[in-house]
Structure 1
Amino acid sequence: MAGFLKAGDTIAGNAGTATATIGTETFEMFMVRNLRATATKNKADVRVLGNRNTQKKATGWEGSGTMTIYYVTSRFREMMYDYIQNGKDTYFDIQITNEDPTSATGKQIVTLLDVNLDEVVIAALDTEAETLDEEVSFTFQGVDLGTKFTAPTLG
Structure 2
Amino acid sequence: MSNITMNAWDAVSATKAECFITIENERYNFMQALNLEAKIEKVKSEIPILGRAMKGNKTVGMKGTGSAKFHYNTSIFRDILYRYQQTGRDIYFDIQVTNEDPASSVGRQTVILKNCNINGGIITKFDASGEYLEDEFEFTFESWEMPERFGSIAGMQ
- TM-score, with normalisation over the residues of structure 1? 0.97
CA-to-aligned-CA distance 1:47-81 (integer Å, 9 cap, x gap): 11100102111000000000001100001000100
Aligned residue number for residue 115 of structure 2: 114
Aligned residue number for residue 42 of structure 2: 41
Q: Letter of the aligned partner of 2:137 in structure 1?
A: V
Q: Letter of the aligned partner of 1:144 in structure 2?
A: E
Aligned residue number for residue 80 of structure 1: 81
Distance 1:151 1:127 in 2: 48
CA-to-aligned-CA distance 1:90-141 (integer Å, 9 cap, x gap): 0010000000000000000000000000011000111222110022100000
* DSSP 3-state at the match of 1:108: strand
* DSSP 3-state at the match of 1:119: coil
Are 1:66 and 1:137, in contact at CA under 8 Å, matched by a contact in 2? yes
Deviation at 1:40, TM superposition (A): 0.4
Deviating above 4 A after TM superposition, structure 1's stretches of 4 or more consecutive aligned residues are none
Deviation at 1:88, TM superposition (A): 1.3
* DSSP 3-state at the match of 2:119: strand
Are 1:109 and 1:146, in contact at CA under 8 Å, matched by a contact in 2? yes
Deviation at 1:21, TM superposition (A): 0.8
128-137 vs 26-35, which moves further: 128-137
Q: Letter of the aligned partner of 2:134 in structure 1?
A: D
Distance 2:27 2:152 in 1: 31
The reply on whether 1:137 has 2:146 as its aligned counterpart is: no
Percent identity between matched residues is 33
Q: Letter of the aligned partner of 2:86 in structure 1?
A: Q
Aligned pair count reads 155
Are 1:6 and 1:154, in contact at CA under 8 Å, matched by a contact in 2? no
Q: Letter of the aligned partner of 1:74 in structure 2?
A: S
Q: CA RMSD in A?
A: 1.1
Distance 2:97 2:144 in 1: 11
- TM-score, with normalisation over the residues of structure 2? 0.96
Mark the runs of 5 or more structure 1 residues left unpaired by the alignment. none
Q: Letter of the aligned partner of 1:27 in structure 2?
A: Y
Q: What does residue range 60-71 of structure 1 map to in structure 2 within 5 Å? A: 60-71=61-72
Distance 2:154 2:87 in 1: 54
Mark the runs of 5 or more structure 2 residues left unpaired by the alignment. none
